[in-house]
Amino acid sequence: MSSKEKKSVTILTESQLSSRAFKDEAYEFYKELRKSQPLYPLSLGSLGKGWLISRYDDAIHLLKNEKLKKNYENVFTAKEKRPALLKNEESLTKHMLNSDPPDHNRLRTLVQKAFTHRMILQLEDKIQHIADSLLDKVQPNKFMNLVDDYAFPLPIIVISEMLGIPLEDRQKFRVWSQAIIDFSDAPERLQENDHLLGEFVEYLESLVRKKRREPAGDLISALIQAESEGTQLSTEELYSMIMLLIVAGHETTVNLITNMTYALMCHHDQLEKLRQQPDLMNSAIEEALRFHSPVELTTIRWTAEPFILHGQEIKRKDVIIISLASANRDEKIFPNADIFDIEIKNNRHIAFGHGNHFCLGAQLARLEAKIAMSTLLRRCPNIQLKGEKEQMKWKGNFLMRALEELPLSF
């Protein structure tokens, strides 16, 4: 999207927000929105009218606003409910990310004990082994595509082992995950995504049947036990929760590791500082989360009760989408917002969200990133981009800020 086009656009569409062209210029566009149009109109096809939120303070307020609902059934009457866009929608959307209290509290409680600080720390040695094993494979070549060779396999192996699913299926998860986060109601994309999600549902059905026969000490077996008790989890919620844990359990971390590496490759002074002061790793991870937020836009929230924001009435059934990426570059909160600084103080980014839906796996993502980045810099001290930074391409994707690939030599 060129600067001229941006000025002439009065309503953004889903396809524009999902385009690679938008991703390339998003930060400049957000900067203009924060100055003059912090509430920007969206046209979201079958979802109706929406608003894009770009300022940090508005994001914080709305992420906790009880007038906004994640479950559209809490907003629409039976007559108003839209028909399902996908045949398999009901089997994959009954998870905690699409729920409101008290259902959200019930669903989150079922899995949160697997993500406590103590449980996450127990994974440290395993994550370290995975990181070393992945680098063992590529180090003799002195080249890798960070996404395919390191950033993707590391978290998918971790979450697969936590859930108790076969590692040989991890490439399937990559395809299915993209179908799930590929927000589009274009007919051709819907058909393709519905086919892929149908495959995912069939896979989950088979997996659950096997786990019922042979339960183990993994998270899926624990969820099946909750489902069998009847009052804790329905079958649809079971499938949806497994899907969410697979997708959310790796997608954000893939982007965190990749985007952090890219930021360091583009800022050699910060890379050298981190090499000289490895104790800055935690701070560097927080800055990477702020600077290139792995989740660019939140999933949708529906307006249950009208309210006024910046003089504009937000009506019932309007959609609210919050740009975490824009909020994390808000100059009023981060004075040098467009500067990548691994020593930034009081980093109040909201890359993992805020409020009830704060990312359950934030601690795990941070630990995976810390081990992945520390191991990479220690074992590959001469690492550098293979090619120019201008050649790196952001994926056209609605929710995520993700690079298609990141070729590195060392």
Cβ distance 365 to 359 under 8 Å? yes
The three-state secondary structure class of 323 is strand
**Over residues 349-374, mean pLDDT:** 97
Q: Give the model's pLDDT for residue 103.
A: 92
Q: Give the model's pLDDT for residue 255.
A: 97
Taking the CB of residue 375, how many other CB atoms lie within 10 A of it? 19
Cβ distance 367 to 312 under 8 Å? no
Q: Give the model's pLDDT for residue 6.
A: 43
**Over residues 115-133, mean pLDDT:** 95
Each residue's pLDDT tens digit, 363-392: 999 999 999 999 999 999 999 999 888 889
State the residue for tokens 């792995």. 294
**pLDDT at residue 90 greater than cutoff 50:** yes
**Cα distance between residue 296 and residue 337, in whole Å:** 16
**pLDDT at residue 311 greater than cutoff 70:** yes
How far lies 57's CA from each of 34, 152, 304, 322, 334, in Å?
Answer: 11, 33, 21, 11, 12
**pLDDT at residue 10 greater than cutoff 80:** no
Cβ distance 284 to 342 under 8 Å? yes
**pLDDT at residue 124 greater than cutoff 90:** yes
Q: Give the model's pLDDT for residue 183.
A: 60
**pLDDT at residue 114 greater than cutoff 70:** yes
**Cα distance between residue 121 and residue 111, in whole Å:** 16
How far lies 172's CA from each of 167, 175, 246, 335, in Å?
Answer: 10, 5, 11, 43
> Could you tell me which residues come within 8 angstroms of residue 146 by beta carbon, excluding any fewer than 6 positions away?
257, 258, 261, 405, 406, 407, 408
Percent of the chain exceeding pLDDT 90 equals 68
> What are the structure tokens assigned to 182, written together?
């590929």
* Closest CA relative to residue 248, chosen from 324, 177, 299: 177
**Cα distance between residue 32 and residue 38, in whole Å:** 9
> Could you tell me which residues come within 8 angstroms of residue 63 by beta carbon, excluding any fewer than 6 positions away?
298, 322, 350, 353, 354, 355, 357
**Over residues 104-108, mean pLDDT:** 92
Give the structural domain span for 382.
3-409
Instruction: Please give the tally of structural domains in the chain.
Output: 1
> Could you tell me which residues come within 8 angstroms of residue 126 by beta carbon, excluding any fewer than 6 positions away?
158, 161
Each residue's pLDDT tens digit, 24-35: 999 999 999 999
> Could you tell me which residues come within 8 angstroms of residue 16 by beta carbon, excluding any fewer than 6 positions away?
1, 9, 22
**pLDDT at residue 7 greater than cutoff 50:** no
Q: Give the model's pLDDT for residue 81.
A: 73
pLDDT level of residue 187 (50, 70, 90 thresholds): low
Each residue's pLDDT tens digit, 197-220: 889 889 999 999 999 999 998 999
Best mean pLDDT range from 125-129, 186-190, 192-196: 125-129
The three-state secondary structure class of 388 is coil
Q: Which pTM does this prediction carry? A: 0.92
Cβ distance 71 to 103 under 8 Å? yes
Cβ distance 124 to 371 under 8 Å? yes
Q: Give the model's pLDDT for residue 303.
A: 97
**Cα distance between residue 92 and residue 358, in whole Å:** 20
DSSP type of residue 85: S
> Could you tell me which residues come within 8 angstroms of residue 209 by beta carbon, excluding any fewer than 6 positions away?
none
Q: Give the model's pLDDT for residue 389.
A: 85
**pLDDT at residue 3 greater than cutoff 50:** no
pLDDT level of residue 229 (50, 70, 90 thresholds): low
Q: Give the model's pLDDT for residue 184.
A: 61
CA torsion sign for 75, 247, 351, 103 is: positive
State the chain's mean pLDDT as an integer: 90
Q: Which residue has the higher pLDDT, 91 or 104?
A: 104
Which helix (H) or strand (E) segment holds residue 257: the answer is helix 251-266
- Among 42-46, 224-228, 318-322, 354-358, the least confident range: 224-228
- Residue 214 maps to which CATH number? 1.10.630.10
